[in-house]
Each structure stands twice: as structure tokens, then as C-alpha cells.
């Protein structure tokens, strides 16, 4: 059975890609066999909406497209830095936090098809947007076989976030920066505690093995200074440390 995309939906997707600086005519000329708008559509369908027609596999491919695009960007623009610095930068640039912020600049939430429960879950929104953006990268690459159509709009975003990270102590390693702050001022280290996600968050059944989130709090002097979430404990700790660093720096 063959599927076709609704013309109204295609017009919506054209508007989205136009926001990203990608012209419909150029995209369709690149693919001699015809630009697959259905693939673009699928990249923006969350698994909570359909178990058979969703962006799960495209997000898997998009993760590699993203990492390669960001690695090339860093090598070209920051090639004078050590591999350790480049790896630290890339870790932050490909994080859900950064991707969700980029997705929001293009108002991606308006184009993602999700269940009502997922749309109303503010805590899951960041992961949802990050996954959709990765899936969209995969759909664009599969259609064009050319990273240029990802890097055209991604590179300026990466430049913006890289400059912010480079201005942060310890090159965006918030755990190290927080440790330096607490040791320098009070000669003690913060404590990281793994905590459970709120019951109402778990009850909506949106979490799968692939998208399970960890939650971590950072404590100092019997006070919680920050709470972070991520697909790994390390990512959640970094987010919690970033929040705590901002709070404690102003304390």
C-alpha cells in the first residue's frame, strides 16, 4: 500500500523548511527521483501518536547525522583546540537541551504530531523536540545525500551555542565549574543525588526503554540548588550542576 501526503500538511512542512532557509524548489531539484515529503512528515510524528508510523528509526539515524555535522563544524572552526576540548564542546552541542532550544527557534512544536498526553507534558517536551529535530536531519539527509542541507541552518546555531560554552568556566563542564566554585569559596564539594521522576510523569506511559530519563539533584549545605534530567545520569548531573552554578554564583 502506498501513502501520499496531504497537500495541506506538505504546505506546512514547506513553511517549516523555508524558515530553516531551505527552498522547496532547490530541495526537489536535488533528488532526481522526487523529494520524499512523506519522509519529512514521518520525521515529525512522535511514537505516542502512532506505533507504526513514527520517527523512531529516523531519530536513530539522525543521531549519527547530527554528530557528524557537529564534528565537521568543530573541526573547521575550532581545529586549533585539543581533541578533549572538541569532545567536550560536541557533548554539549548535541545534548537534548541544545537541540530543544534550536527546535524552538523554528517553532518545531507546531509541526510535530503527538498524542494529547505528550503535548501537555512539559517535562517530556524537551526530549520530544530534540528527537524530532534529529529525525528531521535524517529525513533531509536521506532525501538529499548531502550534509549541506543540514549544515546550512545548523552551523549558525552551533556557532551561537559554542561561543556561549567557550565563555563558561571549565569549557561548559558545569560539574567541574561548580566544584571549583564550592571548593574556592567554602572548601567543600557538592553532593549529587539520583531521584525518581514524579509519579504523574511516569504514569503517562510516554517513557520507553529508548527514551528513559534520569533525574539528579545537586545538594550543598542541606539545600537542593538544582535538578536536572537527561538520557544518562551524566547528562542529568551536568544539567543540575548548570542550574546550581547559576544560583550559587548569584548567592
| Cα gap 13→195, rounded to integer Å | 39
Q: Which of 41, 121, 134, 239 is catalytic?
A: 134
6 flagged as catalytic: no
Take residue 24 and report the three cell numbers written for it: 522547496
| Cα gap 42→31, rounded to integer Å | 18
155 flagged as catalytic: no
Take residue 156 and report the three cell numbers written for it: 549558525
Q: Which helix (H) or strand (E) holds 82?
A: none
- Classify residue 81 by its DSSP letter: S
**171: number of Cβ within 10 Å:** 16
Q: Which of 12, 63, 85, 247 is catalytic?
A: 63
State phi, psi for 47 to the nearest 5 degrees: -60, -20
| Cα gap 77→156, rounded to integer Å | 11
> Which residues are identified as catalytic?
63, 134
Amino acid at each position: 500500500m502506498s501513502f501520499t501526503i496531504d497537500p495541506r500538511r506538505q504546505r506546512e512542512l514547506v513553511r517549516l523548511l523555508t524558515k530553516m532557509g531551505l527552498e522547496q524548489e532547490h530541495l526537489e531539484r536535488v533528488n532526481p527521483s522526487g523529494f520524499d515529503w512523506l519522509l519529512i512528515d514521518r520525521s515529525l510524528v512522535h511514537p505516542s501518536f502512532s506505533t507504526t508510523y513514527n520517527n523512531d528509526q529516523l531519530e536513530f539515524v539522525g543521531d549519527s547525522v547530527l554528530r557528524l555535522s557537529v564534528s565537521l563544524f568543530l573541526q573547521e572552526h575550532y581545529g586549533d583546540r585539543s581533541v578533549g576540548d572538541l569532545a567536550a564542546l560536541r557533548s554539549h552541542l548535541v545534548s537534548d537541551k541544545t537541540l530543544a532550544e534550536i527546535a524552538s527557534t523554528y517553532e518545531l512544536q507546531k509541526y510535530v504530531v503527538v498524542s494529547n498526553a505528550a503535548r501537555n507534558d512539559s517535562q517530556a517536551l524537551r526530549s520530544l523536540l530534540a528527537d524530532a529535530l534529529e529525525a528531521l536531519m535524517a529525513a533531509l539527509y536521506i532525501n538529499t545525500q548531502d550534509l549541506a542541507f543540514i549544515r546550512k541552518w545548523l552551523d549558525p546555531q552551533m556557532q551561537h551555542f559554542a561561543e556561549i560554552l567557550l565563555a563558561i568556566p571549565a569549557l561548559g563542564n558545569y560539574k567541574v565549574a561548580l566544584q571549583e566554585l564550592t571548593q574556592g569559596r567554602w572548601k567543600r564539594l557538592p553532593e549529587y543525588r539520583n531521584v525518581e521522576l514524579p509519579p504523574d510523569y511516569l504514569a503517562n506511559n510516554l517513557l520507553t526503554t529508548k527514551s528513559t530519563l534520569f533525574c539528579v539533584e545537586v545538594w550543598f549545605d542541606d539545600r537542593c540548588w538544582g535538578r536536572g534530567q537527561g538520557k544518562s545520569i551524566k547528562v542529568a548531573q551536568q544539567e543540575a550542576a548548570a542550574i546550581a552554578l547559576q544560583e550559587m554564583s548569584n548567592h
